[in-house]
Structure 1
Amino acid sequence: MKTWLNLCSQYMGLWHDVERYPTPFQSGSCNNAFYTLGDGEVDVYNTQVLNEQLLTINGVAVPVADGKLVVSFPVQNTNLTTETDYWVLSTDYSSYSLVYSCRNVNDYQQQVTFWKLSRNKQLSTEAQGLINAVIGTVDVLSQDFFEATNQSVEACFYYPDPQPGVPVQFPGTCETNIPVVPNFTYPKDPQEGQCINHQFSAGTGTAALNFVSSNVEDQLLGSTNGQLTFYAGETGGRFTLSFISNGT
């Protein structure tokens, strides 16, 4: 078991559910838990994705002994709460955690849950080995009952709740394979050909520039002369372009 002092200072933050015993309240994918240290207790924020919707629940964990907590969650549509044991059997705080929970169904049966948690979305070989060493020491802990949690990008995708005026953000990175208009034609440059150049020189007056644009098309040199004039006013300004075309 881990001491409560270490659990407080190092265990907080995001944990990904990598594998777990089946539980009726975790039927989705991309299950995660985020722990925040409060005043003598731990705030718990659990999430999962089900049918492309993000489901969340807030709870409170209270320490009862070293490595042992009791987590309370609200019961939906009631004023009641349910309490769950949360025992940390093994962790290095920075990469993995093995968590145990149990409740007595009746005088003859117990319902057991284990979670393999990871700071990343998969356990390292070293972390898996440390967990396996603990599995052999607990009678009700068997690899046969663990089910992998889908933490893929596809499984973690969900549609956020629309909020007026709030930019829309989805989980994941931008999609690069969205179909677009085939053979889309951009507006053509009015000056076709190759070897296109523009040369500017001072014009008459302080607010004018002369320019010569040239291009080569079908081995013929074409040029366009013009003048750029700037007009300034009290509220802004504008440019006026005058063209004189000729071919040589």
Structure 2
Amino acid sequence: MSATAVLLLLLPLVSAQTYHWGSCPTPKVQPGFDLEKYLGRWYEIWKLPASFERGKCIEANYALRKDGTIQVLNSQFYKDKTRKVEGTAIVPDARDAARLGVSFSYFTPYSPYWVLSTDYTSVAVVYSCTDILRIFHVEYAWILGRSRFLPRETVVYAQDLLVEEGIDLTRMTATDQTGCKDD
């Protein structure tokens, strides 16, 4: 099968994603990342499009399990109901703890979940990228906050950080966090 045929078969799968030709960039991650400080609830403030995130009030809650893996509980309000999905994150190399892997199914490999920057108390910048046959890559980026709303200057700082790392934010959009119910 030719590369063009493979690409044509895969394009519908990535239509709601952000994809670019070539391999993934390799942005710098948070030095000295402290997983314990990162755990807890984060609200999605801005993101690159993701087919699995179509709702509003999107948030993620991270908790350490007894086996050392991280429980990832994502939720969003979509089509008049709260929808939750549970996944698992791992730290493949403790020396590079800001480069996590996350999976939401036993049948899929861990996808990159790289914490580029965080102050642990207000904002985090996260990036994920997967190469598809070295022909193109699918990428995600999130600006997360410990509260549902961040000051504009904090968002600009996070966006500038992503741009400096070579990540195209042309398709980045704000996540609707209005009218949300907190547990």
**TM-score higher than 0.5 here?**
yes
Distance 1:5 1:118 in 2: 17
Q: Which residue of 2 aligns with 1:42?
A: 70
TM-score normalised over the length of structure 1 = 0.56
Superposed CA offset, 1:129-152 (max 9, x none): 43134123222x233221111111
2:100 is the alignment partner of 1:72? no
Aligned length: 150
Amino acid at match of 1:150: D
| Residue 2 of structure 1, aligned match among 16, 21, 30 | 30
Asked if the contact 1:73–1:82 (Cα under 8 Å) also holds between the matched residues in 2, the reply is: no
Contact 2:62 2:71 in 1 (8 A): yes
Q: Secondary structure at the match of 2:161?
A: helix
Are 1:146 and 2:172 matched, yes or no?
yes
Distance in structure 2 (CA, Å) of the matches to 1:127 and 1:147:
15
Give the unaligned 5+ runs of structure 2.
1-28
RMSD in angstroms over aligned alpha carbons?
Answer: 1.9
Deviations 1:55-108 (A, max 9, x none): 11111110022301011112xxxx623422100001100000010001112321
In the alignment, what sits opposite 2:85?
57
Q: Where is the helix percentage greater, Structure 1 or Structure 2?
A: 2
Identical positions, percent? 29
Query: For 1:127-206, what aligned pairs fall within 5 Å after superposition?
Result: 127-139=154-166, 141-153=167-179, 156=180, 171=181
Instruction: Tell me which of 121, 129, 137 is aligned to 1:110.
Output: 137
Check the 8 A contact 1:72/1:81 in 2, yes or no. Answer: yes
Provide the residue aligned with 1:31 in structure 2. 58
Instruction: Between the two structures, name the one with larger relative contact order (CA 8 Å, sep ≥ 6).
Output: 2
> 1:81 matched to which residue of 2?
108
Q: Distance in 2 between matches of 1:10 and 1:4?
A: 11
Separation (CA, whole Å) in 1 of partners of 2:32 and 2:88: 15
Q: Which runs of 5+ in 1 are unaligned?
A: 157-170, 173-248
2:143 aligned partner, one-letter code: K
Paired letter, 2:174: A
The structure whose Rg is larger is 1
Greater per-residue strand proportion: 1
Runs of 4+ in 1 over 4 A off after TM superposition: none
The separation in 1 between residues aligned to 2:171 and 2:162, in whole angstroms, is: 12
